[in-house]
């Protein structure tokens, strides 16, 4: 058995696994979840983790965003 350690955050019922681990699709793994006690000591309140949308809403400080023209819709053949 090989142990691999990485840090992640639990968001929306999921834990992200870094792609750099090079796991094979369908490979069996055993998961052990250890809560990061050092984060709790720094004042992180459990369950108070904001989503990426709440953390970044209104944070853009560049020029106004402009959506470029999207072109024409694809014309598909009708089904018979």
Q: Is residue 64 situated within a structural domain?
A: no
pLDDT at 76 over 50: yes
pLDDT at 21 over 80: yes
Q: Is residue 35 situated within a structural domain?
A: yes
pLDDT for res 33: 85
Report how many domains make up the chain. 1
Calculate the average pLDDT of the chain. Answer: 81
Domain span holding position 4:
1-45
What six digits make up the tokens of 37? 């006690």
What band does 68 get if pLDDT is binned at 50, 70 and 90?
very high
Cβ atoms of 9 and 49 closer than 8 Å: yes
Q: Is residue 58 situated within a structural domain?
A: no
pLDDT for res 42: 57
Q: Is residue 78 situated within a structural domain?
A: no
pLDDT for res 69: 92
Q: Is residue 72 situated within a structural domain?
A: no
Angstrom distances, CA of residue 35 to CA of 2, 15, 32, 38, 51: 20, 12, 10, 9, 19
Q: Is residue 7 situated within a structural domain?
A: yes
Q: Is residue 52 situated within a structural domain?
A: no
Q: Is residue 50 situated within a structural domain?
A: no
């Amino acid at each position: 058995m090989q142990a691999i350690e990485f840090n992640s955050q639990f968001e929306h019922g999921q834990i992200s696994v870094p792609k750099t681990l090079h796991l094979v699709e369908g490979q069996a793994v055993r998961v052990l979840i250890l809560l990061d006690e050092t984060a709790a000591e720094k004042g992180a309140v459990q369950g108070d983790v904001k989503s990426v949308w709440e953390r970044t809403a209104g944070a853009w400080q560049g020029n106004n965003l402009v959506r470029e023209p999207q072109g024409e819709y694809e014309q598909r053949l009708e089904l018979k």
